[in-house]
A = this chain, B = another copy of it.
Amino acid sequence: MTETIRLPKSAPSGIQRIADMLRLLEGTLPIQRRIVRTGDSVYQAGQAFGCLYVVNSGFFKMVNLSDEGREQVVGLHFKGDWLGLDGIAAGHYGCDAVAMDTGEVWAIRYDALLKAALGAPALLTALHEAMSRELVRDHDSLLSLCTLPADARVAGFLRYWADALAQRGLRTDQITLHMTRAEIGNYLGMTLESVSRGLSRLARCDVIHFIEKGRRDIRIPKVEALTSFIQHLMAPMEAAALH
């Protein structure tokens, strides 16, 4: 039995999995590379679905727009993530995919992907895992939104961001949020002022530090401290739950 060492099963360190997937895509599919700059849309809500996009570099926000004009950031995506998955069923994209930085996406025709998948099942696995991970992420977002107070959601956001970087082999002790307070607030279901207050409180508690000149750069000495900060905030609520 090869049960002794089974890490590779579902966690080849993240960075390895992403690199493998990108190589697989390059090797088996016709890919259209596309450079985007901050603010560019990869696609827009309502546009006819045809391609999926895989992030090669940069990062992206998904913006859902209601009929009445309400806007909601429903997801953030980094290297190795797939964009446009919500367009498969409806036949058109459900959100705007907006670049938050200069980056590169690989456009993959969905019909070509399906055809190629018959000969290379690993492609299917990659696609399914991408969709499944996004579902898990959405569920976690919902959990945070509904069960955590504002300050804890801010801490959770930083932890999410740090985890995303860590999975991709990047440093997490010093991160740059390429989002305004307003964008973060929209994503977290609160106002930009609440985000600002939350970050200030985190800094006051020494959980994070602002790097001088510019409050977009944040130092996180210990990522675990974010988790214990959240639990610290929840402690009074647990007490209340016991009647």
Q: Secondary structure at chain A's binding surface: helix, strand, loop or mixed? A: helix
Instruction: Decide if A18 is an interface residue (CB 8 Å cutoff).
Output: no
CB-CB under 8 A from A124, the residues of chain B are 114, 117, 124
Instruction: Decide if A2 is an interface residue (CB 8 Å cutoff).
Output: no
CB-CB under 8 A from A239, the residues of chain B are none
Instruction: Decide if A90 is an interface residue (CB 8 Å cutoff).
Output: yes
Query: Bound state CA distance, A94 and B142, in angstroms?
Result: 13
| Shortest Cβ distance from residue A112 to the other chain B in the assembled complex, whole angstroms | 13
Interface stretch among A99-107, A129-137, A164-172, A218-226? A129-137
Q: How many copies does the complex hold?
A: 2
Query: Bound state CA distance, A217 and B69, in angstroms?
Result: 33
Chain A interface size band reads 35 or more
> Which of A70, A85, A141 has most B Cβ within 10 Å?
A70
- Asked if A9 meets B91 with Cβ closer than 8 Å, knowing A146-B189, A231-B68, the reply is yes
Give a binary string over A127-155; 1 marks a CB under 8 Å from any B CB, 0 the rest: 11111111110111111011110000000
Interface residues of A, Cβ cutoff 8 Å to B: 9-10, 62, 64, 66, 68-72, 74-75, 85-91, 94-95, 114, 117-118, 121, 124, 127-136, 138-143, 145-148, 186, 189, 231, 234, 238
